[in-house]
Copies of this chain bind each other. A is one copy, B any other.
């Protein structure tokens, strides 16, 4: 049996190693157009930021080690430029000398990945515009950053607020660069809803990122004298820097598959069945280039992440060797570090659920990372998206510090198990004061959702407040006087929780009371108290803190400070 693998990073390299473990006799050829295989794709930004300082650490396996350990014929700096499906051969070009040759296969695995999107804008080919996808890209960006740092010209513009954009911005900031990040829409990170992204916006701004939302870049103008580039936007602003990182996303790199006539899906991704087999039974495809099922909706989706790519590589190898393995879809679990903050998501966002036409509700809870009496606890904001009827957990997003990655993995597992909010209540998680609370943040999300679902308390959200204010609704803030004085919902009356029982008469019993506290816990207690006195109530999910966070985010955009941009007027 002879297997040719196109692409030697996550999915391809995993497939190669698994193939060898399954079949000592197979002939395995792995062809990679860059100079590196099985490299640390997700670690590249940290090399630019001097967090990873040893170049060799970026390559988990060298072509040599791969050959020695797995007896795999690794060919780097070679590119497969054509597939002859009838003859079962690929045409390979040696990028060193331009020579070409044919290679036969019994099975072919395509793992071409995705390529950085490069829009057709004036000046896009300027050498100061760098992307971050390959090891070579990384070395180039690192070299440029080093040069600029040496010259004291520490200014950069990052275009795009996805994972790579934010990680690049963070790493440049850590190196002392002034960084402006331009984002097309109203929030960074497509894995988050707008409200949760506001957590990231506020934190990033506090840590020195010049974040500009709703900025559509329309071109680049070079100034060779200053060795700078002006990034121009549709709004007429210009941002000058000697280094521009282009990170507006990736798109499946499937020209080869397309030319071979394989069935393509979303954004020309490769269509595969659950065994990772393409429309040609001898050809498999894995990784960022393939169309997968969204595990939650069952819909076709594109999910570019290392975890699924690795699993798919393993599955393709299994199937080629006659094992019954299959990929049941991806739920897009992801996590991002931004300085000390951790931002994580799994399953559907609220907006994704709405787009998919799935009825959904949400609960925003604020929970400490561990017992508050043990030093070092910090709060995390958990947004849990659920199906109101069944209570099924559809997705979750968490922003915070310690322990965010833990809770998202627990929630990811509950989604995989198709668990409900009632199941979250019952999860038996490990508790000791340095690690958690007796009621873990995941349990808390379950409690809150079940309180809502069983009618114990009604809730409203930050985006209901403006409408309620217009309707002249009755707002009650049960925080302390000091907290209230530092900011509150316009029109709210303040009765601290511990005084409420004696002051119920101050409220109009004929109208619903819209109650808030800081995070939603005291106001829940207040709602139950008032309900016991016959008043209709609603609890502000996420509390005043979350409401104010989103308000401030919107206000930030309306009064831009433009410390670095030069408005054209």
Contacts and interface: CB of A to CB of B under 8 A. Distances in A.
The count of identical subunits is: 2
Interface string A417-434: 101000101111111111
Contacts of A552: none
Interface string A436-468: 101110010001000000101000000000000
Contact of A428 (B333, B336, B371, B403): B333
A430 B346 contact: yes
Contacts of A342: 435
A64 B498 CA distance: 11
Interface residues of A, number: 92
Given A23-B532, A24-B533, 6 more contacts: A40-B371, A51-B375, A52-B373, A310-B439, A330-B428, A337-B434
Contacts of A81: none
A528 B52 CA distance: 33
17 contacts: A10-B438, A21-B528, A24-B531, A42-B438, A43-B373, A46-B374, A60-B373, A69-B497, A69-B525, A70-B525, A306-B431, A306-B438, A310-B438, A335-B430, A346-B430, A413-B413, A416-B426
Interface string A514-543: 000000000011001101110000000000
A206 interface: no
Contacts of A40: 371, 373, 433
Nearest to A51: B375
Interface in A303-338: 305-311, 314, 323, 328, 330-337
A25 B454 CA distance: 20
B416 A427 contact: yes
A434 B323 CA distance: 33
A335 B431 contact: yes
A363 B530 CA distance: 54
A412 B295 CA distance: 22
A373 B57 contact: yes
A518 to B, nearest CB: 15
Contacts of A524: 21
Contact of A307 (B331, B334, B406, B428): B428
Given A374-B52, A429-B307, A413 B405 contact: no
A89 to B, nearest CB: 26
A433 to B, nearest CB: 5
A501 interface: yes
A490 to B, nearest CB: 27
A7 to B, nearest CB: 15
Given A419-B417, A428-B308, A433-B40, A58 B373 contact: yes
A525 B21 contact: yes
A435 B405 contact: yes
A405 B436 contact: yes
Interface string A47-76: 000011000011010000100111100000
